[in-house]
Structure 1
Amino acid sequence: MSPAAHAAARALLADPLTNKGTAFTEAERDMLGLHGLLPPHVGTLDSQIERRQRALAGMPDDFHRYSFLRELQDSNEILFHAMVQRDLPAMLPLVYTPTVGEGCERFSEIWRRPRGLFLSWPNRQRIAEILGDPALDRVKVIVVSDGERILGLGDQGAGGMGIPIGKLALYTACAGIHPSEVLPILLDVGTDNAARREDPLYVGWRHPRIRGAEYDAFVDDFVTAVADRFPGVLLQWEDFAGHNARKLLDRYRDRLLSFNDDIQGTAATAVGTLLSAISRAGAPLGEQRIVLFGAGAAGCGIADMLVQALQAEGLDEAQARQRIWAVDRDGLILSDMTGLSDGQRAYARDIAETDGWTRTSQGESTCSIPSPTSTRPY
């Protein structure tokens, strides 16, 4: 074999999209020059899965199983996805939530091989160049995060890349999208998590988060480059902080196909459950009074979809909004409260609507609500 042929054989095995491990047949090994690079035994996919399942079972805890599976994904995607699809109930909690949370916290500790793209603030002038890689020509789905609000763990910086990687593994396992057609992206604009910045193993940009107009311009450059490079792509916004999540979805949903499952996916699940419940109860949705407990980005997304469902039953938008009472950590959302998001403001009640209300707390006497001029929660 020529040096070029030897290099091609090694590259084939090094690429997780083309490596099949011991499953290469004798004919394939002859043609591709793989003899000697692989053990002589020709395995089947079933035997490969059994070997990895035995290794997985011997791991001391779920984090080590998560790390093992991430390494398998980075070396042999055929085997990784076959193993996940073989037993979804057992594998999904290891590939994604809840185990991915610790995977994000310890991302720098277990990072081994490139997967997806890190678009960092220092490289903001190179976004289009980075996306221009021919290896990305088949991309149809992008999941992007800036790592600021990872699950319930807060700001994980570059460690947030574990979320797009894990979510796209579900796109393949559950929706059958080819691994070459998905792209995880982390927008690394720094982190306000001092423990991450000070960790000598941290792989991200060691700088406090870029915010404000500079952040908005960075994201806009990213979206513009994505729209130019992948005009038909689905762009999923994942685990952005509440003050950015709704704003970014609203800003870009008409520029390219956008989706935020924390807002829209949660809403679809919640509203679908409510519709199912009232169909069993035999009470129309339009006759319901709905208390929304939690009015962050996800809660307001649920409320928006409920408004659409109520409008479908014949109510106008104002009537539909009147059916919803939004409660957040500061209590019922009122129009005179400060610091409301646009989403919360749409469901804020006028203080006059609470005239005559009282509140009780177990073991305490009844007391009056604050005066109409107060912005304190109650």
Structure 2
Amino acid sequence: MEIDYAVVFFLLYLFLFSQQLRTTWSLKPCVSVCRWAHTKEKGKPLMLNPRTNKGMAFSLQERQILGIHGLLPPKVETQDIQALRFQNNLKKMTDPLEKYIYLMGIQERNERLFYRVLMEDIEELMPIVYTPTVGLACTHYGHIFRRPKGLFISILDKGHVRSILDNWPETNVSAVVVTDGERILGLGDLGVYGMGIPVGKLCLYTACAGIRPEKCLPVVIDVGTDNETLLEDPFYMGLYQKRDRSQAYDDLIDEFMEAVVDKYGQDTLIQFEDFGNHNAFRFLRKYREKFCTFNDDIQGTASVALAGLLAAQRAIGKPITEHRVLFLGAGEAALGIANLIVMAMTETGMTQAEARKKIWMYDKYGLLVKGRQQETDTNQEAFVHESPGNVESFLDAVNTIKPTAIIGVAGAGRLFTHDVIKAMGILNERPIIFSLSNPTNKAECTPNDAYTLTNGRCLFASGSPFGPVTLSDGRVLTPGQGNNAYIFPGVALAVILSRVRHISDTVFLEAAKALAEQVTDKELEEGRLYPPLSNIREVSIQMAIKLVEYVYAKGMAFRYPEPLDKNGFIRATVWNTNYDCFLPDTYDWPGIGFSPKAK
């Protein structure tokens, strides 16, 4: 008997079509019928993955198709209700560390919901996931540990770094934030407990600039710690050894940099964070022309501080070239800010030598002057001047140098004393006082002291968040927070999208200008030197647009063809917190195009 294959195929076609219809009505499809748009996971593993989990927001169809029907309560919730639940729970908490643990718990369970909650209340919650609370979390890291985040690479892994990177589940990483934990904020050497910093930074990559979280990789390099308290702590999670400061340390960092580029590409952004002063400058010089890298403590801090000075320039009406700046502290933050100020001054025609003469530094040994007993670092030499006379205290330095601006980055606490603030008020009609050290208890002074002791005339910025200050005459002034979060997310977004391979200091100069331009006249009148944090997503996007325009104009970009509509190009890439749908729009049967969603 001859077989009519046309009839057989027609009957098979009808059978498969009937299976599709049955799928639509009974919600029990054959898996081969459905093409999964966003995930290959099914069942409980899908719910345990924070990147795919939607909690009770899975629809009935999704629950049945994905094999999780019955694993959740029957109610289907909206993300709005989920966010409200977590926001209400957060409001009941008063302890910042408790809030941090709770928020990190949301991130570990449901990534999109975490960012939804964070972004909707960024002014309140950024101080929890970032400075100052992240510093507290780092000091307690081993005691509050729930689930590992990021990649841990130790000195014992030398020679095998690439194989460790291969263990990271994401294959398309665009940004890496790495620390060796030696100088965490103003808290010192915390070893692997410093992992909280890269995790927090990358949270802001996503929340502030819309960089996709799966493209971000936090890394801690563990070469030991010199913190005796941690070495005696049974809950410490790193190597129980003193810091390795031998050639093996340098070799490990070299291997790490090369492994990242080998795996993810030469335009992968690598942000150095909270390395010790010596290593921070050394690695910046060593790698900046070979890799797409920057040091946030040096360059990010410099950019945000310069932006504050440029905004203050508008309020005072005095160009930056007419300012004299005295730093409290002479480490990586102070030197980074000083060098960028010099760059801004020379851009107007002033010579580099003239610009450097306008910047003074005071460290724990006193004023940086020629001939003092304590040696100065080679990075400080440009700002070592002839002694102006007998200076035995920071107050003496203020009265002798007569600065128009003082910038605190020493992390040594309340060293902008009442006498210092009063002296600045006497010397200047509108004194500039930047108390930038983190966390809050390391700040050089509070805005309350700065405003009160200068009768509200000073232009103030802090590194940590402070609330508005009400003066005796009824005026309310809102202190600006000179937070690096205004800079590094926008810079990272621009660098990633334009595929810059080497990040020049001029990028941070342009970032400072772009930030200062976004401060309105009304905000300046309110005491602000930075835009409200509530608007930081738009601030970062606007900065990224300016920077993308700049790097293409200067021939620094390697993405081709150059996008003509840079505004539209950048906004189209920004990640949002809406849930993905796990059901396909149509089932892939030729000529059918039947959509269960259209039913």
Please say if residues 6 and 33 of structure 1, whose CA atoms lie closer than 8 Å, have aligned partners that are also in contact: no
Please give the per-residue CA displacement for 1:206-235, whole angstroms capped at 9, x wherever unaligned: 111111422212111111111222222111
Which residue of 2 is the match for residue 259 of structure 1? Answer: 294
Q: 2:354 aligns with which of 319, 322, 332?
A: 319
Q: 2:240 aligns with which of 196, 206, 216?
A: 206
Please say if residues 225 and 241 of structure 2, whose CA atoms lie closer than 8 Å, have aligned partners that are also in contact: yes
For 1:262-281, list aligned pairs within 5 A. Answer: 262-281=297-316
For 1:40-55, list aligned pairs within 5 A. Answer: 40-55=74-89
Change over 3 Å in CA distance of 1:354–1:340 after alignment to 2: closer
SS of the residue corresponding to residue 47 of structure 1 reads helix
Give 1:60 shift.
Answer: 5.2
- Partners in 2 of 1:102 and 1:134 — Cα distance? 27
TM-score (norm 1): 0.88
Query: Which AA in structure 2 matches 1:97?
Result: T
Please give the per-residue CA displacement for 1:90-119, whole angstroms capped at 9, x wherever unaligned: 111111111111211111122222211001
Please say if residues 335 and 345 of structure 1, whose CA atoms lie closer than 8 Å, have aligned partners that are also in contact: no
Q: 1:108 aligns with which of 122, 139, 142?
A: 142
Give 1:75 shift.
Answer: 1.3
For 1:181-260, list aligned pairs within 5 A. Answer: 181-230=215-264, 231-260=266-295
Which residue of 2 is the match for residue 283 of structure 1? Answer: 318
Please say if residues 67 and 110 of structure 1, whose CA atoms lie closer than 8 Å, have aligned partners that are also in contact: yes
Give 1:360 shift.
Answer: 7.1
Query: Which AA in structure 2 matches 1:135?
Result: P
Query: Which AA in structure 1 matches 2:203?
Result: A
Which residue of 2 is the match for residue 89 of structure 1? Answer: 123
SS of the residue corresponding to residue 177 of structure 1 reads coil
Which residue of 2 is the match for residue 347 of structure 1? Answer: 383
Please give the per-residue CA displacement for 1:61-94, whole angstroms capped at 9, x wherever unaligned: 1111111111211111111111111111111111
Higher relative contact order (CA 8 A, sep 6+): 2
Please say if residues 238 and 262 of structure 1, whose CA atoms lie closer than 8 Å, have aligned partners that are also in contact: yes
Change over 3 Å in CA distance of 1:51–1:282 after alignment to 2: closer
Which residue of 1 is the match for residue 48 of structure 2? Answer: 14
Change over 3 Å in CA distance of 1:6–1:272 after alignment to 2: closer
Which residue of 2 is the match for residue 36 of structure 1? Answer: 70
SS of the residue corresponding to residue 226 of structure 2 reads coil
Which residue of 2 is the match for residue 331 of structure 1? Answer: 366
- Partners in 1 of 2:355 and 2:176 — Cα distance? 34
Which residue of 2 is the match for residue 57 of structure 1? Answer: 91
Please give the per-residue CA displacement for 1:277-335, whole angstroms capped at 9, x wherever unaligned: 23443333333333233211110001110111111011222232222222222222124
- Partners in 1 of 2:393 and 2:354 — Cα distance? 31
Q: Between Structure 1 and Structure 2, how many residues are aligned?
A: 357
Which residue of 2 is the match for residue 146 of structure 1? Answer: 180
Which residue of 2 is the match for residue 373 of structure 1? Answer: none
Please say if residues 145 and 240 of structure 1, whose CA atoms lie closer than 8 Å, have aligned partners that are also in contact: yes
Query: Which AA in structure 1 matches 2:226?
Result: D
Please give the per-residue CA displacement for 1:218-258, whole angstroms capped at 9, x wherever unaligned: 11111111122222211111111112112111211112221
Answer with 334-343 or 308-317: which moved more.
334-343
Percent sequence identity is: 44
Change over 3 Å in CA distance of 1:134–1:267 after alignment to 2: closer
Structure 1: tracts of 5 or more residues without a match: 365-378
Please give the per-residue CA displacement for 1:42-63, whole angstroms capped at 9, x wherever unaligned: 1110111122223323335111
SS of the residue corresponding to residue 19 of structure 1 reads coil
Change over 3 Å in CA distance of 1:28–1:339 after alignment to 2: farther
Which residue of 1 is the match for residue 104 of structure 2? Answer: 70
- Partners in 1 of 2:41 and 2:121 — Cα distance? 36
Please say if residues 181 and 275 of structure 2, whose CA atoms lie closer than 8 Å, have aligned partners that are also in contact: yes
Query: Which AA in structure 2 matches 1:319?
Result: E
Answer with 276-285 or 173-182: which moved more.
276-285
Q: 1:358 aligns with which of 345, 369, 390?
A: 390
Please say if residues 366 and 392 of structure 2, whose CA atoms lie closer than 8 Å, have aligned partners that are also in contact: no
Question: What is the root-mean-square deviation of aligned Cα atoms in Å?
Answer: 2.3
Answer with 144-153 or 207-216: which moved more.
207-216
Change over 3 Å in CA distance of 1:97–1:289 after alignment to 2: closer
Which residue of 2 is the match for residue 368 of structure 1? Answer: none
Give 1:361 shift.
Answer: 7.1
Give 1:26 shift.
Answer: 0.9
Please say if residues 148 and 154 of structure 1, whose CA atoms lie closer than 8 Å, have aligned partners that are also in contact: yes
SS of the residue corresponding to residue 83 of structure 2 reads helix
Query: Which AA in structure 2 matches 1:354?
Result: S
Query: Which AA in structure 2 matches 1:341?
Result: D
SS of the residue corresponding to residue 320 of structure 1 reads helix
Query: Which AA in structure 1 matches 2:215?
Result: E
Which residue of 1 is the match for residue 423 of structure 2? Answer: none
- Partners in 2 of 1:10 and 1:245 — Cα distance? 44
The structure with the largest alpha-carbon Rg is: 2
- Partners in 1 of 2:383 and 2:393 — Cα distance? 25
- Partners in 1 of 2:368 and 2:57 — Cα distance? 60
